[in-house]
């Protein structure tokens, strides 16, 4: 293999040409290209590129710098003994240095700290890189401002321990303190970092020598502390990368002229180059594959060249980092992979695939194109991708050939990791060639190989259907290998583009089902109208309510039949059914592939924030005397109201279920819900448990979902009405320490602003509408059934009011258990605080609203005039009775109902 680098100055000298577009004739080759560039016109081969790019790596370094500053200040604040001991050890060690050495180091560092930046600026200007110098100057100015702000904060507002760690008495004036941050050193560090010195080893070595000399001289002479030096370095580093990410780094993408020069350096004689046009979709997974060129030579076959630069490699960085964090066992490649590592990985996979007997592009040369790009040269393959082939050209022979290529890779333990339509190439002779091996892995485990099989099953199933995809896979891989991939057949194991396609198909299926239901409803109404038009009997002779009920049942039956006829299985289910026909004993339980779920991470963060706010309220409260003086009669009343709430919850559910369901078993299900909501967000866990309970009680699945949705919808309406009503009552109260009307008005205005924001942003509006529609689907027909039984409706609404009353009285009793007449508040104020806290608890992603509810209730009670010495323990007692103590009975009820088949 030929490998040779292009001199860095060749790439730098042409970097400014990247933003000058030039047009040319389109190439009439096998692939689609956007332009053709000849050897004298190659400098304009790129489309219009941004002059600056925002690199995720700069943002990550900024966040690391911020974290470093926080950790440093935390150590200075809470580890005073460690900081003072470290300073004493350093002063003791540096005090033994010879005076001559100290003077020489101080003089050299003072001169070098000024000369090095100037020398580097001159070197950059000679190479026509003035944009970097401007970035460095901006970063230096901002760093100086940050140091001034930090000095002011340490002098005026910082805790004493931090001040002692960052300053000490000045040697020249014992009444003055040294600077917490060096006002000249931080700007120099920011400047040198922003101009890109880290990429030049010689300049980087000079900078570190200067910094070490300056730190040594300052420590020995007593003008600084170790923590001050570390903070200075972190501030300069942090401001530099923050500046680079905010304004963007100069775009140093190699141009066509650099590409041609690189090809000549590895022994080719190019004539023209045409850039291939890649689809804009799936940027996070395909955008970093590099720019592809079709290159013609003076002699010999044409070439396919891939150019990868730092900017393209950064695309999809956050998506890859998230996958690495959340997925177990088969995480994608390193998110911070260097260009050299990317080149070596792709070259290794190209050679390994060909050695395994698979058809893959043949790599014939590699080269570096300056410090910021690499080039991989392949023999030209030509052909069309699977995505671009018409359906009639995708034959069973072509599908089997594709599976043969995958089998060849898997025989040598090579995982492709991206078997999607645009990675499968079909040449003129019909031979299948697997491309885009860059993200693959060698020595792959069984998990990755099975994922490849499931991904290709879905990719082919999207084009030819589940039956043909499974049949051709079984004919090549065998039934056992195909059956083993079923646990991997889940959306999270598929590529991002495949998941997007499946979501789109799911939306289309849902829309077809909705249209079928609407059409059935329309035909039913039309039939009734036609029957009424032919009916000549007097209106008084009609059976009245019986006829209306019969019509409603007929319409509901027609809707259910239309829904059953229109219901379609998704592709993954179809593939599972096809495999199970061949191997009925195949494992179908999905494998656990997620290490951390987004909901778990959000729950942890939200819980930590809520716990922090709650603990800040508890730090100054003495619970011993408070508990000793508690009114246990009110505690018993709070327990009674908490127990009564489960009866009210059962009433609120059964009121929206026309079918007959045992009441006591429903109460037990609500008790079981107290266990379920600990392991899931309250709203989600309750909905799932009640739906499952109604289905087991004999209610049809669609009607069970509709009943729970109707209960949730009425509950939401009652909650809002009661919040407004009690808010109005608190606003009319006359208390000297509270202006509740302003609080209520501010809350209502906040809610109104949030509603306006959600309705005005298309993405948020679509998200909310989709979730609400899925939650309350079928609610309206169900409500018509409930309205025909007024006693049921009264039971449901009465249960909701009783449920809210139980919780409000439980909270009020908890307050009275720790307070007295001088600290009591009105029941209306308690109701407003509970309703607001309950709403936030339902919205919070933490199980049972842990953290969010406690913090909201405590802050709310304090806001309405209750002392925090009473509010905090009252909230803890309320949550203990309504959340934590019912967990054990809930677990027992859950197991009992599960054994009885009720859940």
- Pick the closest to residue 670 from 703, 642, 698 (CA basis): 642
Q: Are 251 and 15 in contact (CB under 8 A)?
A: yes
Answer whether residue 471 shows pLDDT above 70. yes
pLDDT, position 35: 38
pLDDT, position 256: 75
H or E element in which residue 287 lies: none
Residue 223: CA atoms inside 13 Å, Cβ hemisphere, count? 11
Q: Structure tokens of 350?
A: 């190209």
449 against 554, higher pLDDT: 449
pLDDT above 70: percentage of residues in the chain? 65
Q: Are 311 and 288 in contact (CB under 8 A)?
A: no
Reported as a single tens digit per residue, the pLDDT across 770-782 is 656 555 555 555 6
Phi, psi dihedral angles at 584 (to 5 degrees): -60, -25
Q: Angle at the Cα of 380 (from 293 to 284), degrees rounded to 5?
A: 50
Question: What 3-state class would DSSP assign to 494?
Answer: coil
> Using CA atoms, how far apart are residues 458 and 482, in angstroms rounded to an integer?
12
Question: Which range (103-107, 402-406, 458-462, 676-680) has the least confidence?
Answer: 103-107
> Using CA atoms, how far apart are residues 120 and 124, in angstroms rounded to an integer?
6
pLDDT above 90: percentage of residues in the chain? 14
pTM of the model: 0.59
Answer whether residue 89 shows pLDDT above 80. no
Q: Structure tokens of 682?
A: 């309250």
> Using CA atoms, how far apart are residues 363 and 865, in angstroms rounded to an integer?
76
pLDDT, position 492: 84
pLDDT, position 363: 93
Q: Which long-range contacts (CB under 8 A, 24 or more apart) does 867-873 make?
A: 867/819, 867/823, 868/617, 868/620, 868/621, 869/621, 869/626, 870/815, 870/818, 870/819, 870/823, 871/617, 871/815, 872/614, 872/617, 872/618, 872/621, 873/621, 873/623, 873/626, 873/627, 873/818
Reported as a single tens digit per residue, the pLDDT across 681-712 is 544 567 778 888 888 887 777 677 777 877 77
Reported as a single tens digit per residue, the pLDDT across 484-512 is 998 889 888 888 889 989 989 988 888 88
Answer whether residue 411 shows pLDDT above 90. yes
pLDDT, position 770: 66
Mean pLDDT, residues 830-839 taken together = 82
Question: Which range (378-382, 575-579, 616-620) has the least confidence?
Answer: 616-620
pLDDT, position 39: 41
Phi, psi dihedral angles at 128 (to 5 degrees): 55, 50
Q: Structure tokens of 207?
A: 């900078």
Answer whether residue 617 shows pLDDT above 60. no
Torsion sign, CA atoms 761, 283, 47, 27:
negative
pLDDT, position 734: 43
Q: Structure tokens of 103?
A: 């003077």
Q: Structure tokens of 419?
A: 């078997």
Tokens 């949705």 -> residue: 709
Answer whether residue 451 shows pLDDT above 60. yes
Beta strand segments in 542-592, E: none
pLDDT, position 595: 66
Reported as a single tens digit per residue, the pLDDT across 280-324 is 444 444 445 568 888 999 888 899 998 887 766 666 666 666 676
> Using CA atoms, how far apart are residues 122 and 73, in angstroms rounded to an integer?
37
Mean pLDDT, residues 81-107 taken together = 55
Reported as a single tens digit per residue, the pLDDT across 318-368 is 666 667 666 765 544 544 567 787 888 889 999 999 999 999 999 999 988
pLDDT, position 735: 41
> Using CA atoms, how far apart are residues 156 and 163, in angstroms rounded to an integer?
10
Answer whether residue 408 shows pLDDT above 90. yes
Question: Which range (131-135, 728-732, 855-859, 884-888) has the least confidence?
Answer: 728-732
pLDDT, position 455: 94
pLDDT, position 677: 72
98 against 168, higher pLDDT: 168
143 against 712, higher pLDDT: 143
> Using CA atoms, how far apart are residues 600 and 325, in angstroms rounded to an integer?
13
Q: Angle at the Cα of 733 (from 730 to 739), degrees rounded to 5?
A: 75
Q: Between β-strands 2-3 and 363-368, what pairing exists: parallel, antiparallel or unpaired?
A: parallel
Question: Which range (585-589, 636-640, 745-749, 849-853) has the least confidence?
Answer: 745-749
Mean pLDDT, residues 202-224 taken together = 71
pLDDT, position 697: 83
Identify the band that residue 440 occupies on the pLDDT scale cut at 50, 70 and 90. confident
pLDDT, position 498: 92
Mean pLDDT, residues 748-755 taken together = 62
Question: Which range (17-26, 152-161, 649-658) has the least confidence?
Answer: 17-26
Phi, psi dihedral angles at 425 (to 5 degrees): -105, 140
Phi, psi dihedral angles at 745 (to 5 degrees): -60, -45
pLDDT, position 251: 66
Query: Which residues have C-beta within 8 Å of that of residue 301, sequence separation ≥ 6?
Result: 379, 380
Torsion sign, CA atoms 734, 735, 736, 740:
negative
């Amino acid at each position: 293999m030929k490998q040779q680098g292009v001199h860095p100055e060749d790439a730098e000298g042409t970097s400014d040409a990247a933003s000058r577009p030039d047009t040319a004739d389109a190439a009439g080759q096998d692939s689609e290209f956007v332009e053709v560039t000849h050897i004298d016109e190659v400098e304009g081969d790129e489309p219009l590129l941004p002059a600056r790019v925002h690199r995720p790596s700069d943002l990550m370094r900024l966040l690391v710098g911020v974290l470093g500053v926080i950790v440093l200040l935390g150590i200075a604040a809470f580890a005073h003994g460690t900081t003072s001991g470290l300073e004493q050890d350093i002063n003791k060690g540096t005090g033994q240095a010879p005076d001559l050495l100290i003077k020489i180091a101080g003089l050299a560092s003072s001169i070098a700290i000024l000369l090095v930046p100037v020398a580097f600026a001159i070197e950059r200007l000679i190479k026509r890189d003035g944009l970097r110098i401007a970035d460095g100057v901006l970063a230096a100015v901002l760093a100086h401002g940050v140091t001034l702000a930090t000095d002011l904060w340490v002098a005026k507002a910082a805790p004493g321990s931090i001040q002692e760690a960052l300053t000490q008495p000045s040697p020249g004036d014992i009444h003055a303190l040294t600077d917490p941050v060096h006002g000249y050193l931080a700007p120099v560090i920011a400047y040198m970092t922003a101009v890109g010195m880290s990429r030049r080893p010689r300049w980087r070595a000079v900078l570190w020598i200067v910094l070490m000399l300056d730190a040594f001289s300052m420590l020995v002479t007593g003008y600084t502390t170790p923590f001050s030096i570390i903070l200075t370095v972190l501030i300069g580093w942090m401001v530099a990368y923050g500046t680079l990410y905010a304004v963007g780094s100069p775009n140093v993408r190699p141009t066509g002229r650099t590409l041609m020069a690189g090809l000549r350096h590895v022994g080719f004689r190019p004539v023209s180059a045409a850039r291939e046009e890649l689809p804009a979709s799936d940027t996070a997974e395909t955008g970093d594959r590099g720019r592809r060129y079709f290159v013609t030579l003076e002699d010999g076959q044409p070439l396919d060249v891939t150019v990868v630069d730092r900017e393209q490699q950064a695309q999809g960085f956050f998506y890859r980092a998230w996958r690495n964090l959340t997925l177990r066992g088969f995480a994608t490649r390193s998110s911070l992979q260097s260009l050299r590592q990317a080149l070596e990985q792709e070259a290794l996979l190209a050679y390994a695939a060909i050695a395994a007997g698979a058809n893959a592009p043949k790599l014939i040369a590699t080269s570096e194109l300056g410090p910021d790009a690499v080039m991989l040269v392949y023999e030209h393959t030509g052909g069309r991708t699977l995505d671009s082939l018409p359906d009639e050209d995708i034959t069973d022979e072509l599908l089997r050939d594709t599976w043969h290529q995958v089998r060849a890779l898997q025989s040598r333990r090579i995982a492709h990791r991206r078997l999607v339509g645009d990675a499968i190439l079909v040449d003129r002779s019909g031979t299948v060639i697997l491309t885009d091996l860059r993200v693959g892995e060698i020595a792959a485990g069984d998990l990755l190989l099975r994922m490849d099989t499931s991904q290709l099953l879905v990719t082919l199933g999207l084009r030819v259907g589940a039956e043909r995809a499974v049949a051709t896979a079984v004919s090549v891989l065998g039934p056992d290998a195909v059956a083993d991939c079923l646990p991997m057949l889940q959306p999270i194991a598929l590529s991002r583009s495949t998941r997007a396609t499946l979501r789109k198909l799911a939306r289309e299926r849902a829309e077809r089902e909705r249209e079928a239901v609407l059409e059935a409803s329309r035909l039913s109404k039309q039939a009734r109208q036609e029957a009424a038009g032919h009916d000549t009997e007097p209106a008084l002779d009609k059976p009245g309510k019986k006829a209306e009920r019969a019509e409603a049942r007929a319409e509901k039956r027609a809707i259910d039949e239309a829904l059953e006829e229109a219901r379609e299985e998704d592709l993954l289910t179809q593939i599972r059914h096809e495999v199970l026909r061949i191997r009925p004993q195949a494992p179908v339980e999905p494998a656990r592939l997620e290490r951390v779920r987004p909901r778990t991470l959000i729950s942890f963060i939200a819980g930590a924030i809520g716990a922090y706010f709650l603990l800040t309220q508890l730090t100054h409260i003495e619970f011993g005397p408070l508990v000793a003086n508690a009114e246990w009669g009110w505690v018993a009343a709070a327990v009674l109201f908490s127990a009564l709430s489960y009866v009210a919850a059962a009433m609120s559910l059964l009121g929206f279920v026309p079918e007959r369901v045992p009441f006591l078993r429903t109460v037990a299900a609500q008790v079981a819900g107290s266990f379920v909501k600990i392991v899931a967000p309250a709203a989600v866990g309750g909905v799932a448990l009640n739906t499952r309970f109604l289905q087991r009680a004999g209610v049809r699945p669609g009607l069970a979902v509709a009943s729970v949705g109707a209960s949730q919808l009425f509950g939401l309406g009652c909650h809002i009405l009661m919040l407004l009503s009690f808010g109005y009552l608190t606003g009319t109260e006359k208390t000297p320490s509270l202006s509740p009307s302003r609080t209520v008005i501010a809350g209502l205005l906040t809610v109104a602003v949030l509603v306006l924001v959600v309705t005005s942003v298309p993405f948020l509006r679509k998200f909310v509408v989709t979730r609400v529609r899925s939650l309350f689907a079928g609610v309206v027909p169900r409500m018509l059934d409930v309205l025909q039984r007024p006693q049921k409706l009264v039971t449901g609404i009465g249960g909701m009011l009783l449920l809210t009353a139980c919780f409000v009285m439980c909270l009020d009793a908890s307050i009275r258990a720790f307070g007295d007449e001088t600290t009591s508040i009105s029941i209306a104020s308690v109701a407003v605080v509970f309703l607001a806290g309950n709403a936030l608890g339902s919205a919070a992603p933490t199980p049972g609203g842990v953290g969010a509810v406690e913090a909201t209730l405590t802050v709310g009670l304090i806001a309405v005039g209750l002392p925090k010495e009473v509010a905090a323990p009252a909230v803890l007692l309320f949550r203990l009775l309504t959340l934590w103590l019912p967990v054990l009975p809930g677990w027992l009820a859950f197991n009992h109902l599960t054994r009885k088949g009720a859940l």
